[in-house]
């Protein structure tokens, strides 16, 4: 266990607690204070990046439950996000349903669609499932693009900002609080799900689904439950994205995004709670860095080819995914664990 | 009636090209059980490379096409050597996702080198359409089908008689046993990747003769997954039978359902077929059903 020397367990509750020592509590408190006072000294630009990161963390946490814990590869996560986003856009915009109810509906819709496309997972796995979820991605986006009367088709649709009672989340700082609160809840939920009966069943299914079935785990139930939870969170993330960007278009949810989400989970670390957070932060910051640095580079080196601006992003992300898989398949989360161990044992690391 | 015949002929021709690209997938899957999800991007990048050779560098055909083939061989070798060799014996999840990373990277390379999103290859085949009974079909379709069939025949002969082909089939059967017999399994892997890239390149050129070079080529590559799924992953004969079926469904469905459902239904039919096959017959028409032990 990664606990400091002298920390003893006297009962089950203290053994299972997430935060054990005074330092843990202190750091946790500092983190909360840091996050929730951020709007006081961050500019709107950085807040918008933080909002996007928060939304991504929610989506990636769902994907991590699906891939990292249950071992079911889904390459259609952006499609499930789109389902949630358009559900809340239609419910709040056209039917006037309050935000919280439509957020829940968005999650449920995405979750149910996830179950439908997850059905083949009962019989097949690995590559077959990957292909099915790619098909899901294309079918969902096609429906959105061609069901013009409801979704606005290729033109897209406007979405009103989120509002609870008469309080409207119409500025970046307000949305920041909303998104961060939900993201914190989701991370807390994921952390506890992984330690529960359900999470242990997921891990058993991931490691060997036949062995899990022999041990009495209902494969159909748990695989579809993983799809439901993963896609439910994707739907929530999509709904928050809709209210945050206030304009929806199928271009926001492409296959490339789905691949990028998988990349984030891998880079962060599969099957860990902190992994999705690290992966989302790293990739989104990398995106911002590339967006910042390409005009500068083009200014200094005018001989760069015309496709430099659009091409450099995918190249870098593809390379990062490949390099992480080859060099550090357990992701940044593993490095983080190593760092904590080294810190705890310093200076006597033997 | 003329309509029906026309849809049938174009459907079978396009389906043959799908089958060719799918063959490239089945090759890699059979020898190394790696699922190559970068198929669409391989098709895309080799079509653009052909464009670069023939139009931008203005090479004649006899130089441009061999260069494309060489490029595909080199690309296949490079991908296998740099990304898949270090990942041998890793979990299947890493093997699938690394090809996704390759796909992403290749897409970046394409937009980097060829920033224009649409281009057309020069006319490779004669222009005047062919009259087959009441149907009028442009020659590209016929040529595409003929070239695909020819390549298919050549490859089958290669697998049947050539030493490397036999080694590849043996590797697919049992990697450990073949290693014990002294066959270098790693070189079999790289050969299968090189072959797959060449097949994808030829398929890409044939398809872009029909529809031009667009980003849609990635989708063409993804559509050939439906061929693999319907035919069964580890079956060459499955590819050649399922290809025309998919092409027919796509063209007939596109032709007759568009007035009913709306434009674009053509592009989604192969994906719907994937879902249906997955639910009812997950190992395809000719696929081998794997029985697992714990």
Nearest CA in chain B to A304: B112
Q: What confidence category does residue A78 fall into, taking pLDDT thresholds of 50, 70 and 90? A: very high
8 Å CB contact of B263 and A146: yes
pLDDT digits (tens, 9 = 90+) for A202-211: 999 999 888 9
A311 touches chain B (CB under 8 A): yes
Question: Token pair for residue A217?
Answer: 């785990």
Of B98, B113, B282, the CB nearest to A120: B282
Give contacts of A 6-65 with B, CB under 8 A: none
At B106 the pLDDT is: 93
Residues of B in contact with A132 (CB under 8 A): 274-275, 278
- Lowest-pLDDT choice from A55-59, A235-239, B63-67: B63-67
pLDDT at A196 over 80: yes
Residues of B in contact with A67 (CB under 8 A): 93
At B174 the pLDDT is: 81
At B78 the pLDDT is: 94
Cα–Cα distances in angstroms (integers) from residue B127 to residues B11, B119, B120, B138, B140, in the given order? 19, 18, 14, 7, 8
pLDDT digits (tens, 9 = 90+) for A33-68: 998 888 888 888 999 999 999 999 999 999 999 999
State the best of A215, A325, A329 to mutate against chain B, taking most chain B CBs within 10 Å: A325
Q: How many CB atoms neighbour CB A150 within 10 A?
A: 13
How far apart (Å, rounded) are the C-alpha atoms in residues B104 and A313?
9
Taking the domains of chain B in order of start, what are their residue ranges? 2-227
Cα–Cα distances in angstroms (integers) from residue A41 to residues A174, B83, B212, B219, in the given order? 14, 44, 52, 46
A160 touches chain B (CB under 8 A): no
How far apart (Å, rounded) are the C-alpha atoms in residues A112 and A232?
8
Nearest CA in chain B to A214: B294
Q: What confidence category does residue A350 fall into, taking pLDDT thresholds of 50, 70 and 90? A: low
pLDDT at A1 over 60: no
Size of interface A-B (CB pairs under 8 A): 154
8 Å CB contact of B294 and A210: yes
Residues of B in contact with A317 (CB under 8 A): 104, 108
8 Å CB contact of A73 and B93: yes
Of A119, A270, A321, the CB nearest to B101: A321
Q: Is A278 exposed, middle or buried (0-12, 13-18, 19+ CB in 10 A)?
A: buried
Minimal CA separation from B270 to chain A, in Å: 9
8 Å CB contact of A305 and B98: no
Minimal CA separation from A200 to chain B, in Å: 19
A341 touches chain B (CB under 8 A): no
Q: How many CB atoms neighbour CB B182 within 10 A?
A: 6
CATH number for the domain running over A41-291+308-345? 1.10.3470
Q: What is the ipTM of this complex?
A: 0.88
Q: Closest Cα to residue A136, out of A88, A220, A77? A: A77
- Lowest-pLDDT choice from A21-30, A88-97, A127-136, A300-309: A300-309
Residues of B in contact with A290 (CB under 8 A): none
Minimal CA separation from B67 to chain A, in Å: 23
Beta bridge partners of B130: B137
DSSP letter for each residue of A225-253: HHHHHHHHHHHHHHHHHHHHHSEE-GGGS
pLDDT at A19 over 90: no
Cα–Cα distances in angstroms (integers) from residue A137 to residues A79, A91, A134, A256, in the given order? 5, 22, 5, 11
Q: How many CA atoms lie within 13 A of A208 on its CB side?
A: 8
How many residues does this entry show for chain B? 294
- The strand pair at A163-164 and A157-158 is best described as unpaired
A265 touches chain B (CB under 8 A): no
Average pLDDT of the residues in B101-127? 86
A297 touches chain B (CB under 8 A): no
A117 touches chain B (CB under 8 A): yes
Q: What confidence category does residue A190 fall into, taking pLDDT thresholds of 50, 70 and 90? A: very high
The helix (run of H) or strand (run of E) holding residue A158 is: strand A157-158
- The values of phi and psi at residue A163, to 5°, are -150, 140
pLDDT digits (tens, 9 = 90+) for B235-291: 788 888 899 999 999 888 888 887 777 777 888 888 988 888 888 888 888 877 777
Residues of A in contact with B79 (CB under 8 A): none
Taking the domains of chain A in order of start, what are their residue ranges? 41-291+308-345
Minimal CA separation from B117 to chain A, in Å: 10
DSSP 3-state of A147: coil
Q: Closest Cα to residue B108, out of A300, A265, A321? A: A321
8 Å CB contact of A259 and B104: yes
């Amino acid at each position: 266990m990664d606990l400091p020397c002298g920390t003893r367990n006297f009962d089950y509750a203290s053994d299972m607690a997430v935060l054990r020592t005074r330092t843990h509590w202190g750091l946790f408190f500092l983190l909360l204070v840091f996050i929730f006072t951020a709007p006081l000294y961050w500019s709107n630009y950085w807040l918008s990046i933080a909002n996007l990161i928060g939304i991504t963390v929610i989506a990636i946490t769902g994907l991590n439950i699906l891939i990292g814990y249950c071992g079911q590869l889904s390459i259609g996560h952006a499609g499930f996000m789109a389902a949630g986003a358009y559900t809340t856009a239609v419910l709040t915009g056209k039917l006037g349903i309050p935000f919280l109810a439509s957020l829940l509906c968005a999650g449920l819709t995405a979750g149910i669609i996830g179950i439908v496309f997850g059905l083949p997972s009962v019989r097949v796995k690995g590559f077959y499932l990957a292909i099915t979820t790619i098909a899901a991605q294309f079918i969902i986006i096609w429906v959105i693009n061609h069901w013009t009367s409801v979704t606005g088709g290729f033109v897209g649709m406007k979405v009103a900002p989120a509002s609870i009672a008469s309080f409207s989340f119409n500025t970046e700082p307000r949305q920041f609080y909303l998104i961060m609160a939900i993201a914190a809840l989701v991370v807390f939920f994921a952390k506890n799900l992984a330690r529960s009966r359900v999470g242990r069943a997921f891990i058993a299914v991931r490691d060997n689904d036949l062995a899990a079935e022999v041990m009495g785990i209902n494969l159909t139930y748990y695989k579809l439950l993983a799809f439901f939870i993963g896609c439910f969170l994707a739907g929530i993330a999509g709904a928050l994205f809709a209210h945050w960007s206030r304009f929806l278009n199928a271009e926001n949810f492409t296959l490339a995004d789905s691949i990028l989400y998988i990349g984030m989970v891998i880079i962060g670390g599969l099957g860990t709670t902190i992994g999705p957070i690290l992966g989302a932060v790293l990739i989104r910051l990398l995106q911002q860095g590339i967006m910042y640095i390409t005009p500068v580079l083009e200014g200094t080196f005018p001989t760069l080819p015309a496709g430099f601006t659009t091409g450099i992003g995918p190249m870098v992300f593809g390379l990062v995914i490949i390099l992480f898989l080859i060099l550090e398949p357990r992701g940044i989360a593993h490095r983080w664990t190593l760092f904590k161990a080294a810190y705890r044992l310093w200076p006597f690391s033997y | 009636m003329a309509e029906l015949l026309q849809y049938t002929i174009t459907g079978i021709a396009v389906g043959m090209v799908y089958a060719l690209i799918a063959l490239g997938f089945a090759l890699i899957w059979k020898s190394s059980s790696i699922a190559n999800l970068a198929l669409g991007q391989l098709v895309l990048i080799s079509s653009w490379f052909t464009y670069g050779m023939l139009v931008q560098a203005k090479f004649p055909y006899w130089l441009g096409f061999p260069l494309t083939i060489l490029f595909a061989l080199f690309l296949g070798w490079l991908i296998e050597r740099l990304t898949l060799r270090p990942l041998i014996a890793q979990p299947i999840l890493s093997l699938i996702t690394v090809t996704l990373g390759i796909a992403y990277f290749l897409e970046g390379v394409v937009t980097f080198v060829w920033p224009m999103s649409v281009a057309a290859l020069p006319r490779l085949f004669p222009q005047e359409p062919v009259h087959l009974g009441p149907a009028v079909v442009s020659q590209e379709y016929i040529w595409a089908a003929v070239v695909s069939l020819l390549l298919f025949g050549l490859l089958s002969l290669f697998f049947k008689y050539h030493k490397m082909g036999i080694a590849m089939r043996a590797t697919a059967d049992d990697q450990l046993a073949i290693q014990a017999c002294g066959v270098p399994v790693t070189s079999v892997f790289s050969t299968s990747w090189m072959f797959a890239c060449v097949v994808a390149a030829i398929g890409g050129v044939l398809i872009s003769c029909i529809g031009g070079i667009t980003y849609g080529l990635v989708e063409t590559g993804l559509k050939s997954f439906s061929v693999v799924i319907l035919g069964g992953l580890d079956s060459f004969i499955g590819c050649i039978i399922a290809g025309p079926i998919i092409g027919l469904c796509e063209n007939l469905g596109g032709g007759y359902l568009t007035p009913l459902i709306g434009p674009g239904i053509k592009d989604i039919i192969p994906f719907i077929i994937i879902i249906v096959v997955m639910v009812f017959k997950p190992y395809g028409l000719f696929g081998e059903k794997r029985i697992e032990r714990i």
